[in-house]
Structure 1
Amino acid sequence: MSMQVIFSHGKESGPWGTKIMALAEVAKDLGCQVDSVDYRTDLDVEQRVSRLKNVLQQQSGQPIYLVGSSMGGYVATVAAGSTDCAGLFLMAPAFYLGGYADIDELPLKCPVDIVHGWQDDIVPVANSWRFALGYRANLHVLNDDHRLVDTLPQTTELFKQSLTRVITNLSG
């Protein structure tokens, strides 16, 4: 079964940054198709949500697994609330920092994994904790900051475990 993995980058990064490149290799190794949406011209978070929803509407019916970093985590989560999503992997998601969606009321029906750094000074780790409690998400807190670059090998391994679980569950 082929899965489409779609990445959403953070506010000031690009579609093929260091983390996305590393995670994309894992997804490809697991037989997934990979895409990364370029939001650099959309500074408004709700414009980014609309762009991702448009991308999702054009998908061909194969299962979709969304990945988001920081603002991209918020974008992926809001989009997952209005689509049939197989899984959600979030890195330091920008929850409770603005945007129109009530993040606590989204009808998420997919498994969620969150990776956050203890030393994040941009998005408090407490925000991911709050979200994880409400959705029973898997929360992994690493000894890192917002960018999660120092713990990229651990984040990559957590992504591989999450994606493998989703693929296995879909395969029956």
Structure 2
Amino acid sequence: MSSQKSLRVLYIHGRQSSKNTPKLVHLSKYFTTHCVEYTAEQAADYESIVRQQARAIKDFQPDVIVGSSYGGSVTTTLVQRGFEALAAARQNPEKARRVLISGEESVIGGDEDIEGWVGPVVLLAPAHLKRIGMEDKGWWPTEAPAKIIHGLQDDIVPIEDSRILAKSLKSFTQKRINLLPMRFVELVEVEDGHRLESLATGNLLIDAVTDVANTWGRAKAFIPMPVNM
């Protein structure tokens, strides 16, 4: 696998992890990466971490976001809010909120802080159902390419959570856009535990990032954008 340093990857680590996680070290060999750390104590305030990572999106302007465990939950929140803002901006561009779009130099909206993400993601054992008080909406933006990787031996976040999420995700079909059917979401089940240590070597994680980036590149032209962009 050759290096693709032009591809920018924001990594959102788990609650008990850091920027020194072997998975990020591995990603950094192939892509330009960025990670803003937080402590387990700080993670108790979920919304503050969402805001922290939204600022990281603004500063770094990634092409892909990789979220692990708790960071996967944060990533899903950013994606949901980003596409909700995009949908609202389509209806009323003058009142649009700021959202960074992967591969774009500009953002939707005016002077408010960026509060969401419109683009591809890789979710590693995402704790989207495990977070206290978080309600599963059974919803995912059709336009958001996502690859979920989860270990069959995960004893922290049950793999069934990712199976539930994957079932709720939708794919682009030939009926929606004039392309060959494009699988926007894929769940990859691996022989591993919660830390997904096997991803620190080999091509699976690298290929996942490349795949969602390529899918987004093919599909973005078919996603309606607000008229004032």
Shorter-chain TM-score range: 0.7 to 0.9
1:87 aligned to 2:116? no
- In structure 1, how many angstroms separate the alpha carbons of the residues matched to 2:199 and 2:119? 25
1:100 to 1:50, Cα distance in 2 relative to 1, 3 A: farther
In our comparison, the structure showing a higher alpha carbon Rg is 2
TM-score by length of structure 1 reads 0.80
The residue that corresponds to 2:58 in the other structure is 57
Query: What is the CA-CA distance between 1:37 and the residue it aligns to?
Result: 1.6
CA RMSD of aligned residues (A): 2.6
Structure 1 residue 141 and structure 2 residue 189: aligned?
Answer: yes
Per-residue deviation, residues 28-53 of structure 1 (Å, max 9, x unmatched): 2xxxx321121226222332112112
Corresponding residue SS for 1:54: helix
Q: Which residue of 2 aligns with 1:16?
A: 20
* 8 A contact 2:152–2:191 mirrored in 1: yes
Runs of 4+ that moved beyond 6 A: none
Asked whether 1:39 is paired with 2:38, we answer yes
Whether the 8 Å CA contact 2:150–2:189 is kept in 1: the answer is yes
The 1:122–1:129 alpha-carbon spacing in structure 2 relative to 1, beyond 3 Å, is same
Paired amino acid for 2:214: R
Give the one of 149, 156, 167 matched to 1:122. Answer: 156
Can you give the 5+ residue segments of structure 1 that lack an aligned partner in the other structure? none
Pairwise CA distance, 1:116: 0.2
Report the alpha carbon displacement of residue 56 of structure 1 after superposing the two structures with TM.
2.3
For residue 149 of structure 1, what is the amino acid of its counterpart?
E
Residue type matched to 1:79 in 2?
L
Gaps of 5+ in 2: 1-5, 83-100, 102-117, 171-184, 222-229
Q: Distance in 2 between matches of 1:103 and 1:51?
A: 23
Q: Give the direction of change, closer, same or farther, for the CA distance of 1:106–1:99 in structure 2 (3 Å limit).
A: farther
Q: TM-score, normalised by structure 2?
A: 0.62
* Matched-pair contact (CA < 8 Å) for 1:16–1:36: no
| % same residue | 26
Alpha-carbon spacing, 1:161–1:3, altered in 2? closer, same or farther (3 Å) = closer
CA contact (8 A) 1:86 1:166 kept: no
Distance 2:220 2:59 in 1: 23
Contact between 1:49 and 1:79, CA under 8 Å: does it hold in 2?
yes
Deviations 1:81-125 (A, max 9, x none): 223332010111112112555443655331010000000000000
Distance across 2 between alignment mates of 1:6 and 1:118: 25
Q: 1:161 to 1:55 in 2, by over 3 A?
A: closer
| Paired residues of 2:72 and 2:124 also in contact (CA < 8 A) | yes
Which amino acid is 1:139 matched to?
Answer: L
